[in-house]
Structure 1
Amino acid sequence: MLLFAAVAAIGAYLQRDSPVLRSPWPPLEAWWGPHAGPGTPAALVVAAAVVGYGPGFAARLPSRALPWAVWGAAMAWTWSLALVDGWQRGVAGRLTDSGEYLRGVGRFEDDGVGATLRDFTRHILLHSPDHWGTHIAGHPAGAVLTFVGLDRIGLGGGVWGAVFCITTGGSAAAAAVVTLRLLAGAETARRAAPFLALAPGAVWTGVSADGYFAGVAAWSLALLAIAVTRRPSATAPRTSAAAAAFGCGLLLGAAAYLSYGLVLLVIPVLVLLVCARTMRPLPYVVLGAAVVVAAFSAAGFDWWQAYGLLRTRYFEGYGGIRPYAYWFWGDLGTVVAAAGLASVAGLRRTLAGAPVALRGLRHAWRRGSGADPASGRATAAVLLPCALLLAMLAADLSGMSKAETERIWLPFTLWLPATAALLPRRDHRGWLAAQAVTALLVNHLLLTGW
């Protein structure tokens, strides 16, 4: 709370005479504007239900039903928060604003997908003819191609785009539950489930494409968890683990072509493999990612060239103006808002347990005991959140993340509420209430950019 208050106060001080930080209400991309809307009663009901009954319900629910319940609760929470801003501003109009993805769909229709993709990099720089809008230029071609695909199957426009982003973004919580159950045990997954469902990051999941990116990233890790924990048997042959690893690679490759920053998923992927004490899935993961890279390259999109041009455009615009010294800390302040106070409390316990987990993991590798997920549950529960935190720090240090990280870092921050599973069970309802209050205050006091 002190960190967020400090960066907010310093941001207000720095902008007292001019908008030097290029953000309306630093550290968040938002405007001060207390308001309520049709989603307000629903948000209060969802929050009260999860705080009051979530922990007990998660403890009793069958393991197979838990991810579905968390997905449903996360979607209800996201929808209600989005509707606080009203139907048009909160849902239907979000992805049709200037600079958003849907503004560029028509160019793929006019010139053809193949020709537009081959010509994609020529329109990234600001001074280039017919340059792309902010979001299309700032992401690989896979991001806008998703909405082109939705349009081709009859799901075009802002409403269907919003439905797609909220649905896939909500599934990130379910994927996290699946991953935790496999790697850290059913008890940890049950304790984390209400926090994942009630994440404050839902304010930005509904509606931004980064919620969709978060869903893809989360399911890539879930598939890898399946691959490293599945044992060959008559009903689950070794090929099923290979198929899960290959699917993980496909989603990792897709994530890299949705957002340049998601190449940092390599950090939690490697940590997950180390925690499971096996590298057997790695060749299949690499093969799956290579398929995606080959497909885009054959279609004419050069990821490295596009990223180099994006760096130029980034520093031509606000990226070259926003001061790094402020936004290094300001970005971390947005994590407090998007992950919530329970995540901060959980991360304290996670970081405190990291040295012990690392020592135990080192001894296990020395013993050569193989991939025994049961013996590595505590290790995975501690080190996987640390890996996600490390990915965010890498993004922060890069200088390519200045502001708007409450949205951009959703693939990482939506995982952090799971660390609240380490908090004492008797305190869970209080911490859940803190999560809900954070989201409700942000959504009702500020008009967020997403």
Structure 2
Amino acid sequence: MPWLGMAAMAATVVIGLSLDASGTQLGVPHPPFIGAYGPQADVLELVTIPCFVAAVLLVPWLLKRRTAVFTAGLFVFTLILRVTLNTGRGGTHQLDRALFVGPKGEGKNEYVPSLAAFDYGPRFVLDRFAELVPSLPVHSAGHPPGLLLTMYYLGLDTSPKLTAFIIGVGALSAPLTYVLARRLYDDRVARIAGVLAAFAPAMLHFGATSADAVYLTLGLVAAIGLLSKRPWVGALALAVASLFAWSLLAVAAWAAILVLARDGLKPALKLGAMTGAILLAFHALFAAATGFDPLGTLHATSRVYEVGIASRRPYAYWLFGSPTAFLLIVGVPIAWLALKRLGQAKPEALAIFAVLAIASVLGFTKAETERIWLFLAPFVILAAAPLVRRPQLFVALLAFQVVTYELVFDTLW
């Protein structure tokens, strides 16, 4: 299974680059990857590489610490590695480059410009959000108003403030991956999963200034709750998280498929029905209290996708290109072991690959999945973690991939 999967992904990369070279537009700089070729390094790279080397050397020490020290260490590791990696290419100003609102760059498509809609107050924004969607920047238009409300109430009205928030909240993903893994495995495997989350390339490349890093953390909180003894707590957390990103509803699908493969049909149906009921009740109450129209917003968002660049990306290629880009940037070694576990029909692997297959076939997201599917990265890690035998060597391979890719390709976020 790993050889077959890797061969298919290699073929997808070769075909994508060949089509691009022949003039066929697939919608990203180097299909299937969103990263644009452009080798660059800053003097801070003299800090980045030693930080990664030191982190790899400290992995055995970290794995042996008591739980409190281990989880705190994971957070610190993730925080330092994300900041140093994303400043090593272009200096400290690189951190908020994707969010900075200027005449050029991605910032005008991001969240900060959308705060102008709050001149009439948050109630107006919620009550008229579906009507506002067509006039919002594309990233705001593609999501419910959860992050915008958070930015408004916390005063995150500049790119540096939003960057700091994203980095801090996003760095919680590694310790939360460990907590989630404890729901499935013994402590040794769970610790390995947490360490992999700290070093996973996708979570480092897109975990600094992409808002998807916040959605990643919210998805983990919901997943932890769904697999707990009180799954209604997870369902409620997921309902709140769905106000930030519609895509996070896939967490419920992942949990239900996992329970189906592990425990059978009846527990899976029970979990799915309860989660669905809580989601519907939450959105009904939220709509009644605020005027927010979730169905109207979904329709307006779908129209944004229909007229956006995604509509010009050929479905046939991205059916394979989307999961290929995502899995390879999560980490080639991680993808290899996850595919191996899929061949063994393990529940954790069946669940995540089923979700990836459904997402690819539905075609809601064509390309940019390294960032948009970031919230699914921990589930791939969970599938791979039990097969990791030499954690230090494994994370060294991940560190080599992430630093090399960041220096050679501009991932923007």
TM-score, normalised relative to structure 2: 0.87
What residue in structure 1 maps to residue 209 of structure 2? 207
Moved over 3 A (4+): 1-9, 16-19, 85-89, 271-292
Which residue of 354, 359, 369 maps to 1:405? 369
Q: Is the 8 A contact 1:343 1:418 kept in 2?
A: no
Q: Is the 8 A contact 1:208 1:407 kept in 2?
A: yes
Query: Does residue 328 of structure 1 match 2:337?
Result: no
What residue in structure 2 maps to residue 21 of structure 1? 26
CA distance in 1, matches of 2:278, 2:29: 41
Q: Deviations over 1:234-267 (max 9, x none)?
A: xxxxxxx4xxx44322320122221222211112
What residue in structure 1 maps to residue 337 of structure 2? 346
CA distance in 2, matches of 1:196, 1:175: 9
What residue in structure 1 maps to residue 114 of structure 2? 104
What are the ranges of 5 or more consecutive residues in structure 1 without an aligned counterpart? 126-130, 229-240, 355-381
Matched ranges for 1:20-419 at <5 A:
20-58=25-63, 60-87=64-91, 90-96=94-100, 97-108=107-118, 110-125=119-134, 131-151=135-155, 155-201=156-202, 202-225=204-227, 227-228=228-229, 241=230, 245-271=231-257, 273-274=259-260, 275=262, 289-290=279-280, 292-298=282-288, 299-354=290-345, 382-419=346-383
Find the residue that maps to 2:67 and give its secondary structure: coil
CA distance in 2, matches of 1:286, 1:266: 9
Q: Is the 8 A contact 1:25 1:31 kept in 2?
A: yes
Q: Measured at CA, do residues 87 and 148 of structure 1 come closer, stay the same or move farther in structure 2, by a change above 3 Å?
A: farther
Between Structure 1 and Structure 2, how many residues are aligned? Answer: 396
The one-letter amino acid paired with 2:360 is D
Q: Measured at CA, do residues 4 and 285 of structure 1 come closer, stay the same or move farther in structure 2, by a change above 3 Å?
A: closer
Q: Is the 8 A contact 1:250 1:291 kept in 2?
A: no
What residue in structure 2 maps to residue 374 of structure 1? none
CA distance in 1, matches of 2:20, 2:188: 47
The alignment's C-alpha RMSD in Å is 2.5
CA deviation after TM superposition for structure 1 residue 133, in Å: 1.0
CA deviation after TM superposition for structure 1 residue 337, in Å: 3.2
What residue in structure 1 maps to residue 412 of structure 2? 449
Q: Measured at CA, do residues 150 and 392 of structure 1 come closer, stay the same or move farther in structure 2, by a change above 3 Å?
A: farther
What residue in structure 2 maps to residue 371 of structure 1? none
Q: Deviations over 1:169-201 (max 9, x none)?
A: 221221110121233111211232321211101
CA deviation after TM superposition for structure 1 residue 144, in Å: 2.3
Q: Deviations over 1:276-309 (max 9, x none)?
A: 7868887875675456413531212222222222
More divergent stretch after superposition (404-413 vs 44-53): 44-53
Q: Measured at CA, do residues 204 and 424 of structure 1 come closer, stay the same or move farther in structure 2, by a change above 3 Å?
A: closer
CA deviation after TM superposition for structure 1 residue 205, in Å: 1.0
Q: Is the 8 A contact 1:70 1:197 kept in 2?
A: yes
Q: Deviations over 1:327-353 (max 9, x none)?
A: 122112212332101212221332133
The one-letter amino acid paired with 1:387 is A
The one-letter amino acid paired with 1:102 is V
Q: Is the 8 A contact 1:100 1:136 kept in 2?
A: yes
More divergent stretch after superposition (265-274 vs 334-343): 265-274
CA distance in 2, matches of 1:121, 1:19: 35
Q: Is the 8 A contact 2:38 2:410 kept in 1?
A: yes
CA distance in 1, matches of 2:349, 2:159: 34
Q: Deviations over 1:355-383 (max 9, x none)?
A: xxxxxxxxxxxxxxxxxxxxxxxxxxx42
Q: Taking every aligned residue pair, what percent have the same amino acid on both sides?
A: 24
Q: Name the larger-Rg structure.
A: 1
Q: Is the 8 A contact 1:219 1:248 kept in 2?
A: yes
CA distance in 2, matches of 1:23, 1:424: 33
CA deviation after TM superposition for structure 1 residue 148, in Å: 2.0
What are the ranges of 5 or more consecutive residues in structure 2 without an aligned counterpart? 1-5, 101-106
CA distance in 1, matches of 2:127, 2:354: 35
What residue in structure 1 maps to residue 3 of structure 2? none
CA distance in 1, matches of 2:137, 2:382: 35
